[in-house]
Amino acid sequence: MPRESELRREAIVRLATTTGLANVDELSAHFGVTASTIRRDLAQLEQSGALARTYGGAMALVAHPEASLRQRVGEEFEAKRSIARWAARQIGAGETVLLDAGTTTGALAHELRGAPALTVVTTGMTALQELASSDSVTVECLGGVLRPQSLGFIGPLAEAALERRTFDRVFLGADGVTAEDGICEADIRQTRLKELMARRADHVYLLVHAAKIGRRPFHAWAPMPERWTLVTDSAVSEEALEPFRAKGVEVVVAS
């Protein structure tokens, strides 16, 4: 049977995977042990190559590779479909909407294939593929540099195109989101573009399944505007949503 210290160290690694960073005091309170015990755990995990220590007693994963879009397609499929169906119902005929790159926004594009008199502008190949054969939807692409990991376009060309358009609604995706810092992504060019996208729309929605809420796997962030809507699935806990509600964020749990 694994010892208590081994189980705790495994839990520390899992916590680092979902939140990205944790300091000694937070871990000490979480596990109900002394700070010196946590420091010994971190030293052992660093020695084994599971974690890397950082300044201030915090720690981070040595490697937290970004999953490719192909790897993410099958993740939380039913949750993404529920979120996409709710999002599709918010869009009215004749609107112009902006879709981010990603699998959840790709699921939304799938729901919009028969929408009447709709204009969809997107940064993602997934949405383009879903809507390419639609007779009723006008499809536009912002262009730019293609990121192979996300199959999304980023960079100055995409940013310049945004400056010349406004939208009724924008639907964003994320690798993680917190109430304090906003959207988390692997690449600062992604977060810069998402921030600009949010500024150009009347209504801003972030579409993320429950596992991404409170998660901070990377170090690039996009702050959210004063008013926006978090759309997630029924696997989310009220505890995870409370920080967003406290900041006045509209929260939707799609079922």
Q: Which tens digits make up the pLDDT trace of 186-209?
A: 899 999 999 999 999 999 999 999
Q: What is the DSSP letter of 93?
A: T
Look at 13-17, 87-91, 128-132 and tell me which has the smallest mean pLDDT: 13-17
Judgement on whether residues 97 and 75 belong to the same structural domain of the protein: yes
Instruction: Give the pLDDT band of residue 126 (cuts 50, 70, 90).
Output: very high
Judgement on whether residues 99 and 218 belong to the same structural domain of the protein: yes
The DSSP annotation for 123-186 comes to SBHHHHHHHTT-SSEEEEE---EEETTTTEEESHHHHHHHTT--EEEEEE--SEEETTTEEEES
Q: What is the DSSP letter of 15?
A: H
Judgement on whether residues 53 and 153 belong to the same structural domain of the protein: no
Of 195, 197, 185, whose CA–CA distance to 123 is shortest? Answer: 197
Judgement on whether residues 88 and 210 belong to the same structural domain of the protein: yes
Q: How many domains are there within the chain?
A: 2
Of 28, 43, 61, which marks where a domain is finished?
61
Judgement on whether residues 170 and 208 belong to the same structural domain of the protein: yes
Mean pLDDT of the region 85-112? 96
Judgement on whether residues 121 and 247 belong to the same structural domain of the protein: yes
| Residues 40, 22: Cα–Cα separation, whole Å | 15
pLDDT tens-digit readout, 139-174: 999 999 999 888 999 999 999 999 999 999 999 999
CATH for 184: 3.40.50.1360
Judgement on whether residues 165 and 42 belong to the same structural domain of the protein: no
Contacts of 245 (CB under 8 A, 6+ apart): 251
Report the sign of the C-alpha dihedral through residues 235, 208, 216, 218, in that order: positive
The parent domain of residue 186 ranges over 69-254
CATH for 13: 1.10.10.10
Judgement on whether residues 128 and 215 belong to the same structural domain of the protein: yes
Q: At what angle do helices 4-19 and 35-48 cross, to 10 degrees?
A: 80
Judgement on whether residues 148 and 189 belong to the same structural domain of the protein: yes
Global confidence as pTM: 0.74
Judgement on whether residues 21 and 51 belong to the same structural domain of the protein: yes
Q: How far is CA 31 from CA 47, 78, 169, in A?
A: 21, 33, 43
Of 12, 29, 61, which marks where a domain is finished?
61
The pair phi, psi for residue 25, each rounded to 5°, is -65, -40
Judgement on whether residues 183 and 76 belong to the same structural domain of the protein: yes
Q: What token pair was written down for 55?
A: 């300044």
How many CB atoms are closer than 10 A to CB 95? 17
Judgement on whether residues 124 and 205 belong to the same structural domain of the protein: yes
